[in-house]
Structure 1
Amino acid sequence: MASAPSGLWQDRAFILFWTARVVSIGGSTITAVVLPILVFQLTGSALQTALLATLEVLPYFAFGLIAGALADRVDRRRIMVGCNLVQALLVASIPIAAALGALTLTQIYVVAVLVMTAFVWFDAANFGALPALVGRGQVVAANSAIWAATTVVGIVAPAVGGGLAAAVGAANVIALDATTFLLSALLLALVARPFNQARTEPAAPEPILRRTLSDIREGLVFLWRQRLVRTMTLVGFGNSFSAGAVVGLLVVYAVQALGLPETDGRIGLLYTATAVGGLAASLLLPPLARRFPVGRITLAGLAAHMAVLVAVALAPSFWSGVVLIGLWQLCNTLVIINGIALRQQVTPDHLQARVNTTARMVAWGGQPFGAAVGGALAEALDVRAALLLVGIGVAASVVYGWFSPLRDAAPSVTTEATVEAQP
């Protein structure tokens, strides 16, 4: 948290917003550990466990463009609060069904898809809300403060989730997440400052469908013409392909490669390691961004991701696997938040949600494919071979990035500027 200027911690609106994100992500982190454990306990299948990660990303493809366009037009706070309430109800259905003896794999999949659908709308509004709340000059510091805080929570939450799942059953632990969604909704509702900057609307507004399509087109044009954002988005696809396989196979990796029983609470420590890696990345980015160009940071992160992924696949013991997973997540997170900060700084406010959601849809688009391919490879071969083979995604991003404008990109993400779209 030291990366955030003191002014942010004197800003009640930011503190409420920050607390809401920390609380919600804390509960969701526990669920992220417990749901794959629950699926693997029900099925014993690497493919069906990895399929959960695939399904959780698909809503970005279905609703990302529409959510991004509408979130720039309507009250972002209402979207975020409403989505939190819907997520609370959906998540609560899992422990209720388990208590009644009626929980099925189909219900878990459906809840996962619907919760992530709500998250797409929440996230679209969140991207635009933060710059409106803190100003462009504070975006890197505010993002780093949120990432740092939520990953500190994430260091504790996975171990707690894994331990509770072993003690009281995986389905029962998910009830905690429903509570955190409700608390997040309350905190966001208490923020007095608008989540949208004022903008002038035409005297005769267009019909909603035409306006939405026009907004989507405008966001796509900006994304494509802004060369640095475009390149960062495309290399993100390969990065997320490899990352999707790791995330989708983490429980399988713990059981099949590292030798843990599927009910072992230590599985949560692998998720804790990802939180530590994410925290390290959030703390490293601001000083790195002051010293190095944005493109070099991304290329270094991608190359390190590729090398560490090989080491993860070959880890000889549980504790070496934990350490290497943490290093892997450091590299992965550095690439992600570097891209987010860049987009938030160079994108005009009225395009924030649609550009960021569209870019994230493309950049994270590799994740469902990586999870599905990784699951199929783990089922056909083994989990170590699967992790080695899916490294081709991040390797492709390194090659493409090196021969793209990203290699020589001069701007730093800490530079407050609005970059005009370039062909």
Structure 2
Amino acid sequence: MPSYYLAATLARFADEMVAFTLVLLVLDRTDSPTLAGITGAAYALPAIITGPLLGAWLDRTSHRRSALAVNQATLALVMLGLLAVVGHSATWLAPALAAIAGATLPLVSGGFTSMLPSLFRPERLARANSFESVSFSAATIAGPATAATVAAVVSVDAAVVLIVVAAACSIVAISRLPALPPVGGGGESFLSSVVGGLLHLARTPRLRASTVTSTLLMGFTGILLIALPLHMVELGMPKSAAGYLWTAIELGSVTTTLVLARLQSRWHPEYVVMLSVALYGLVLLTWPLATTFAVLVVLAIAAGLTEGPALPAMFAARQQYSPPHLQGRVSTTAASLRVGASALGQATAGVLVPVIGTHTALVTVGLGLVAASTLGRLTSPHTPATPHRPAPRG
């Protein structure tokens, strides 16, 4: 459905701009990596709590479109608020406002993705997952690159205004989505519904392996969000040039996503996630060796080629190992864990990177991703797969 991918991609484009632009805005106005890390963490951290709650509610409601639209409206208002207060008011205001926008952040990823089994027939889900991954990648390609270009050519403030415009356009696109009936709830209490999603993630070995690996991936990505703008200075580039590295990663990622779309279904999705993340970490270990920005861009594309298969495989793991009535809870809970891990990574990097330096930070991220893949494997002993095939809808 073109309307679905347009709405999802616009919302994710705005979100991807936020993650990078927040760091640039705080660094530009305060020159404080610590405050940049705290503000980025404040944007992502509330998702740890709100993700399971939102997922349980999404499974029980027929008002998903309204929830997604309210999320984008909140984002637009908060970004305008940040434009007014960062560098001009008390430092705590920036993290406080960022936390308000972050409270509904799982809706951007898990909220949209949880709709796929209701929108597409089972035999079309693999292809839908590939396009869903492309939606994420397209947003991640365009978001940081747009933020970097606008910040360099015009100003960081202009990049913030563009986020507001993108969020407003996404609301229009969301209004064109079909209304979907509730898929769960029944006689189950809301609290039981919330806990059910968490327990399913914890008790399903193959899903647990994918979730552990992909969550740690986001934690180390949070470190990169802070480290890369600072590393650009060491290469004689402006901090905003880091946005082009994220674009290079996603260009590589979307390439393998499209090329391997039909082949990925031949392997268990959790194995694809673990292998992809491990290879991504190994390539990142070469980044400190790059002495010029051009070489680093090439290495970023190579990193993206290895990381590309992880995202559609992660979607497939949630869908194959979760029953239909848990799709919303599993998607948003897993998304909240990933976003929360990114928040912790940013907060840690804000304090740690100025102390250890960017080269050591990059090596730490590379080794950490290899360890993440290994830990995911250790949490999933050999068990028979018990996939849940969604019933046909629409």
1:39-50 equivalence runs, <5 A: 39-50=26-37
Deviation at 1:156, TM superposition (A): 4.3
Residue of structure 1 in register with 2:180 after alignment? 195
1:220 and 1:355 in contact (8 A); partners too:
yes
Deviation at 1:122? 4.6
Consecutive unaligned residues in structure 2, runs of 5 or more: none
Equivalent residue number for residue 342 of structure 1? 317
**Change beyond 3 A, Cα 1:199–1:268:** closer
In the alignment, the residues of structure 2 paired with residue 23 and residue 319 of structure 1 have an alpha-carbon distance, to the nearest angstrom, of: 29
Q: Structure 2 CA distance, aligned partners of 1:343 and 1:49?
A: 33
**Rounded Cα–Cα distance in structure 1 between residues aligned with 2:251 and 2:383:** 29
Using the alignment, how far apart are the partners of 2:232 and 2:309 within structure 1?
24
Query: What are the residue-to-residue correspondences of 1:356-367 with 2, within 5 Å?
Result: 356-367=331-342
Q: Which amino acid aligns with 2:206?
A: L
1:56 equivalenced with 2:53 (yes/no) = no
SS at match of 2:236: coil
Residue pair 1:147, 1:278 contacting (<8 A) in 2 also: no
Change (3 A) 1:111 1:130: farther
Counterpart for residue 314 of structure 1:
289
Q: Distance in 2 between matches of 1:374 and 1:124?
A: 26
Matched, 1:178 2:153: no
Give the corresponding residue for 1:396.
371
The structure 2 residue matched to 1:283, chosen from 258, 267, 277, is 258
Maintained 8 Å contact 2:10/2:166:
yes
Q: Does 1:355 align with 2:311?
A: no
Q: Distance in 1 between matches of 2:253 and 2:127?
A: 15
Which whole-Å CA distance do the structure 1 matches of 2:246 and 2:354 have between them?
22
Percent pairwise identity:
24
Query: For the Cα contact (< 8 Å) 2:47–2:105, is it kept in 1?
Result: no
User: Residues 124 and 297 from structure 1, CA distance in 2 versus in 1: closer, same or farther, beyond 3 angstroms?
Assistant: closer
CA contact (8 A) 1:48 1:375 kept: yes
Q: In the TM superposition, what whole-angstrom CA distance separates every residue of 1:265-314 from its partner, at most 9, and x where no partner exists?
A: 54432232133133224324523313433233223212212211211233
- The 1:89–1:373 alpha-carbon spacing in structure 2 relative to 1, beyond 3 Å, is closer
Q: Aligned in 2, Cα 1:288/1:48: closer, same or farther, shift over 3 Å?
A: farther
SS at match of 1:230: helix
Distance 1:404 1:198 in 2: 29
> Does residue 130 of structure 1 match 2:133?
no
1:29 is matched with 16
Q: Give the C-alpha shift of residue 328 in structure 1.
A: 2.8
Instruction: Return the alpha-carbon distance in structure 2 between the equivalents of residues 299 and 86 of structure 1.
Output: 35
**C-alpha distance in 2 between matches for 1:358 and 1:200:** 16
Q: Secondary structure at the match of 1:213?
A: helix
| Separation in structure 2 between the aligned mates of residue 399 and residue 336 of structure 1, nearest angstrom | 18
Structure with greater Cα Rg = 1
Task: Give, in whole Å, the separation in 2 of the partners of 1:239 and 1:266.
Answer: 22
Aligned partners of 1:136 and 1:416 also within 8 Å: no
Residues 254-274 of structure 1 show CA distances to partners (whole Å, capped at 9, x for unaligned) of 223x22134xx5443223213
Alpha carbon RMSD of aligned pairs, Å?
A: 3.0
Q: Cα distance, 1:330 vs. partner? A: 4.2
- Check conservation: 1:68, 1:125, Cα contact below 8 A: yes
1:69 aligns with 2:47: no
After superposition, the C-alpha distances for 1:230-253 in whole angstroms (9 at most, x for unaligned) are 222122333233222112322112
Q: Return the alpha-carbon distance in structure 2 between the equivalents of residues 223 and 34 of structure 1.
A: 32
CA separation of 1:252 and 1:52: change in aligned 2, threshold 3 A: farther
Q: Which residue of 2 aligns with 1:213?
A: 191
- Kindly provide the amino acid, as one letter, of the partner of residue 223 in structure 1: L
Would you say 1:259 and 2:231 are equivalent positions? no
Give me the whole-angstrom Cα distance separating, in 2, the residues matched to 1:281 and 1:60: 29
Among candidates 237, 254, 271, match of residue 296 of structure 1: 271
Classify 1:28/1:404 alpha carbon distance in 2 versus 1 (closer, same or farther; 3 Å).
closer
Alignment deviations for residues 125-177 of structure 1 (CA, whole Å, 9 cap, x no partner): 32322221223333332232233245345434433322221232201221121
Q: Name which of 405, 409, 417 aligns with 2:389.
A: 417
Contact in 2 for aligned 1:59/1:120 (Cα 8 Å): no
Count of aligned positions: 390
